[in-house]
Copies of this chain bind each other. A is one copy, B any other.
Amino acid sequence: MLSTSRQFLLRSRPKGPLAYDDLELRDAPLGELADGEVRLRSTWMSIDPTIRIWMSDVPQYLPPIAIGEVIRSIGTAVVVASRHPDFAEGDAVFGLLGWQTHPQGTPEALSIQKIAPGVDPTAALSIFGMTAGLTAYHGLVDVVDPKPGETLVVDAAAGTVGGLVGQIGKILGCRVIGIAGGPEKCAYVTDELGFDACIDYRNEDVGAALDRLCPEGIDVCFENVGGPIFDAILLRMKLHGRISLCGMIAGYDAHEPVPGPYNFGMILMRRLMVKGFIILDFVDRFPEAIAKLGGWVAEGRLRNRVHELEGFERLPDALRLLVGGQAPNLGKMVVKIS
């Protein structure tokens, strides 16, 4: 008889990259299931850079994870017991489950929704996931509205968001240049995802490569990274260019204040529009995005690999590699829990 849930709790805020000592691994006793509650068995966890933001106490878009709290995370699960009329044993769900093997609570507290029949659970975290396909769709279409013939530059292009952004850009008629780390990732971006080119930032000078590939400059940038890569892009934006600011992963592990881009002045000189967004702003429009994404997948125009690590205990490593830019993933990184 199940009586505990394995959990990672935040013991201390990471100073630099996430360290094991920042977390506490424990087996928490599970209470009786109360009326209106469900008990879940986690199946996959979505590994997202934003989890590293939530572990810090910088000003952010949700409250930071409190010390002693379970690490916040999106994931999928199966209902193992239910005292809620809308959920039955065996239902597949996704939601804000946290790093725990057996989430338990009300559906509202866990923010769960059922996964539509026939949809692979990992697709609910990737192509249709808030931190993947939906972020790519709304962050590109709603925030910077790319036009046919425009040049779009996307960094972290081998990741799930960047890879989907570039493919959507191609569908919309843009010329798309990716930036990724290493020849294997770049080959994936051009050969499998169909970007027009991909710059290997580990082995090429990004600025020189952008000069070669975008001799007339960049119309639209979808920015995931920050740091020197973003500075190289800023310097090459066209007059009145638009930048969708999705993430600044290069700074997430920093313990000291991180300076903004050295080429910030280009926003003035080139009259750029820079707009930050968070996917939670677009909840009302998710049905549109899901319909579009689903249609493109059905037409074979949108590809997305899922890179799976196995085992609950590998969650911290997976996050550390992803935020540190050392993760091997092509496409969406998930950890299989059970």
CB within 8 A of A276: which of B260, B272, B278? Answer: B272
CB within 8 A of A259: which of B247, B259, B269? Answer: B259
CB within 8 A of A275: which of B247, B261, B262, B273? Answer: B273
> Contact at A262–B257, with CB atoms within 8 Å?
yes
Contacts of A61 in B (CB 8 A): 268-271
Contacts of A271 in B (CB 8 A): 61, 275-278, 281
In the complex, how many angstroms separate the beta carbon of A247 from the nearest chain B beta carbon?
Answer: 7
Kindly state the separation between the CA atoms of A274 and B275 in the bound complex, as whole angstroms: 6
How many copies, total?
A: 2
A33-65: which have CB < 8 Å to B? 58-61
Kindly state the separation between the CA atoms of A30 and B266 in the bound complex, as whole angstroms: 39
Asked if A213 lies at the interface with its beta carbon under 8 angstroms from chain B, I say: no
Asked if A19 lies at the interface with its beta carbon under 8 angstroms from chain B, I say: no
Asked if A235 lies at the interface with its beta carbon under 8 angstroms from chain B, I say: yes
Contacts of A265 in B (CB 8 A): 58, 248, 251, 258
Most central of A59, A60, A262, A265 by chain B CB within 10 Å: A265
In the complex, how many angstroms separate the beta carbon of A64 from the nearest chain B beta carbon?
Answer: 12
In the complex, how many angstroms separate the beta carbon of A253 from the nearest chain B beta carbon?
Answer: 13
Kindly state the separation between the CA atoms of A261 and B264 in the bound complex, as whole angstroms: 8
A264 with B268, Cβ < 8 A, contacts A235-B59, A274-B274 known: no
In the complex, how many angstroms separate the beta carbon of A142 from the nearest chain B beta carbon?
Answer: 11
Asked if A263 lies at the interface with its beta carbon under 8 angstroms from chain B, I say: yes
Asked if A267 lies at the interface with its beta carbon under 8 angstroms from chain B, I say: yes
Q: Is the interface of A mostly helix, strand, loop or mixed?
A: loop
Kindly state the separation between the CA atoms of A195 and B272 in the bound complex, as whole angstroms: 29
Contacts of A269 in B (CB 8 A): 59-61, 276, 278
Asked if A176 lies at the interface with its beta carbon under 8 angstroms from chain B, I say: no
Kindly state the separation between the CA atoms of A59 and B59 in the bound complex, as whole angstroms: 32
Kindly state the separation between the CA atoms of A271 and B96 in the bound complex, as whole angstroms: 22
In the complex, how many angstroms separate the beta carbon of A32 from the nearest chain B beta carbon?
Answer: 39
Asked if A245 lies at the interface with its beta carbon under 8 angstroms from chain B, I say: yes
Residues of A at the B interface (CB closer than 8 Å) are: 58-61, 226, 235, 245-248, 251, 257-278, 281
Could you give 19 example pairs across A and B, Cβ below 8 Å? A60-B269, A61-B269, A61-B270, A61-B271, A226-B264, A248-B264, A248-B268, A257-B262, A258-B262, A260-B260, A260-B261, A260-B263, A261-B264, A268-B277, A268-B278, A269-B276, A273-B275, A274-B274, A274-B275
